[in-house]
């Protein structure tokens, strides 16, 4: 899923400058013996043994002895992680309420000596997740209101969301789609997508298909190739957009086989979800390079999260390294949605505006995303600013520069002809 995922049990610092290896095509999930029969084009699933396999030959800044093969698939796996007993006792109810999952590659990014580690806070359950505010909602961005057929959301005129799977490789604590992500039945057949594919074919106004879920990269390469082929055959489509956390949490998933699966008629855009510079590692650099050299457009979405990335320095580092190290354009900075149990992670809008105001001018425009709010009930995204207009009178404006200076500006346009000197002087009295 584009912005992480966490599911109720009852519901369906930059890398060092070194030379890094190129991933082997043989590491592709559809080349694994575990991938049969699960990886057949009709069953839509990459086995957990493939997704959760520990990396080989990778260096992690915060890897700890004994954690190299740790995988978080079930609540009982939390017992093997170095979490203080007092913290476990406090979060026990949250552990029971929400499923957990994280690949070993992502867990090894955590500094377990720091209870406030920004990666840890995204995957380890916290007691605060059960503190619900009645103003929070199950479907915070209104997916259900705009779903004319199963597994499809048509909120904007020229693009749709397509959800071939509701499973993710990591269940993020800040997930905004809790009510749909499901780990119980990972296999989804292509036949379940036929109503959505027919809808897309029948609506010529649709130009983009955004494949999300869940995380589409939990599917095998063969399954992704078949889905891409079906979309290729719809003539009015122009762009295939893939929203995924796998290049962040399991970068070894990005292989030559995955690239081949997405190669076709459609332009391809991969949208990743990095939230903190600590998520950028040597393997993520290799994964981004593989996708970049394939000719795919690379964008990133970040969620503004209290206590994780809500300060200018952290976000400036993240946005710069996305561009300068990974070659990924920061696309959106999302204000945290009104998902139930996320009050502890949600900042004020004023705090977000202040951060973006601090970054403007001090950070290259290429590195800056748009700060947006997904309006409740499916009304779509709205830009939040910041605004740099201090005042206005007709065609005369006063703007605030990134240094905080007040700068007058007059529009020189045909609608604002130059006034005679005498008239201008009279206006000034």
Residue ranges of domains in the chain: 144-385, 389-427
- The DSSP secondary structure of 234-253, one letter per residue, reads -TT--EEEEE-SHHHH-GGG
Check: CB of residue 177 under 8 Å from CB of residue 147.
no
Between 113 and 60, residue with greater pLDDT = 113
Q: The domain 144-385: what is its CATH number?
A: 3.20.20.70
| Sign, Cα dihedral of 347, 352, 358, 362 | positive
d(CA 316, CA 288): 19
Band of residue 311 on the pLDDT scale cut at 50, 70, 90: very high
For residues 120 and 279, the answer to whether their CB atoms sit within 8 Å is no
Q: Structure tokens of 338? A: 């009104």
384-422 pLDDT per residue, tens: 988 899 999 999 999 999 889 999 999 999 999 998 876
Name the region of 326 (left: φ>0; alpha: ψ -120 to 50; beta: rest).
Answer: alpha
Are 110 and 62 a contacting pair, CB within 8 Å?
yes
Q: Rounded to the nearest 5°, which phi and psi values hold at 344?
A: -70, -20
Catalytic residue numbers read 155-156, 159, 168, 172, 175, 177, 337, 374, 381
- Could you read off the pLDDT of 26-80 as tens digits, one per residue? 333 333 323 333 344 444 455 444 444 443 333 334 444 334 446 788 778 888 8
pLDDT reported for residue 65: 36
For tokens 């600590």, the residue is 278
Distance CA 173, CA 139 (A): 16
Q: Which two tokens stand for residue 385?
A: 């600013």
Res 116: pLDDT? 93
Name the band, by pLDDT with cuts 50, 70 and 90, for residue 245.
very high
């Amino acid at each position: 899923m584009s912005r992480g995922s966490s599911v109720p049990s009852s519901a369906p610092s930059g890398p060092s400058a070194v030379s890094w290896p190129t991933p082997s095509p043989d590491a592709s999930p559809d080349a694994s013996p575990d991938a049969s029969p699960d990886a057949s084009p009709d069953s839509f699933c990459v086995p957990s043994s493939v997704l959760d396999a520990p990396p080989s030959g990778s260096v992690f800044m915060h890897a700890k002895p004994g954690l190299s093969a740790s995988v978080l698939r079930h609540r009982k796996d939390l017992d093997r992680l170095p979490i203080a007993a007092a913290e476990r006792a406090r979060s026990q109810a949250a552990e029971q309420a929400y499923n957990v999952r994280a690949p070993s590659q992502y867990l090894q990014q955590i500094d377990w000596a720091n209870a406030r580690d920004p990666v840890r806070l995204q995957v380890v359950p916290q007691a605060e997740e059960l503190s619900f505010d009645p103003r929070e909602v199950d479907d915070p961005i209104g997916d259900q209101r705009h779903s004319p057929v199963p597994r499809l959301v048509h909120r904007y005129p020229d693009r749709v969301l397509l959800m071939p799977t509701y499973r993710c490789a990591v269940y993020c604590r800040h997930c905004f789609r809790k009510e749909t992500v499901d780990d119980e039945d990972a296999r989804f057949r292509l036949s379940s997508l036929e109503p959505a594919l027919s809808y897309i074919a029948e609506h010529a106004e649709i130009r983009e298909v955004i494949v999300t879920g869940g995380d589409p990269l939990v599917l095998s390469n063969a399954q992704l190739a078949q889905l891409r082929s079906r979309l290729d055959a719809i003539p009015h489509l122009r762009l295939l957009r893939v929203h995924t956390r796998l290049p962040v949490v399991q970068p070894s998933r990005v292989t030559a086989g995955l690239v081949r699966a997405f190669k076709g008629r459609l332009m391809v855009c991969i949208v990743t979800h990095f939230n903190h510079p600590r998520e950028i590692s040597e393997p993520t650099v290799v994964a981004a390079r593989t996708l970049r050299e394939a000719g795919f457009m690379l964008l990133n979405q970040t969620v503004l999260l209290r206590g994780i990335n809500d300060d200018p320095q952290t976000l400036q580092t993240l946005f710069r390294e996305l561009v300068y190290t990974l070659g990924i354009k920061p696309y959106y900075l999302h204000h945290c949605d009104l998902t139930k149990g996320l009050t502890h992670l949600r900042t004020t809008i004023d705090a977000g505006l202040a951060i973006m105001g601090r970054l403007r001018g001090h950070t290259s425009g290429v590195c800056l995303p748009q700060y947006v709010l997904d309006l409740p009930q499916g009304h779509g995204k709205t830009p939040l600013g910041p605004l740099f207009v201090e005042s206005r009178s007709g065609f005369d404006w006063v703007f605030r520069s990134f240094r905080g200076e007040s700068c007058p500006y007059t529009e020189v346009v045909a609608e604002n002809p130059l006034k005679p000197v005498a008239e201008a002087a009279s206006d000034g009295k």
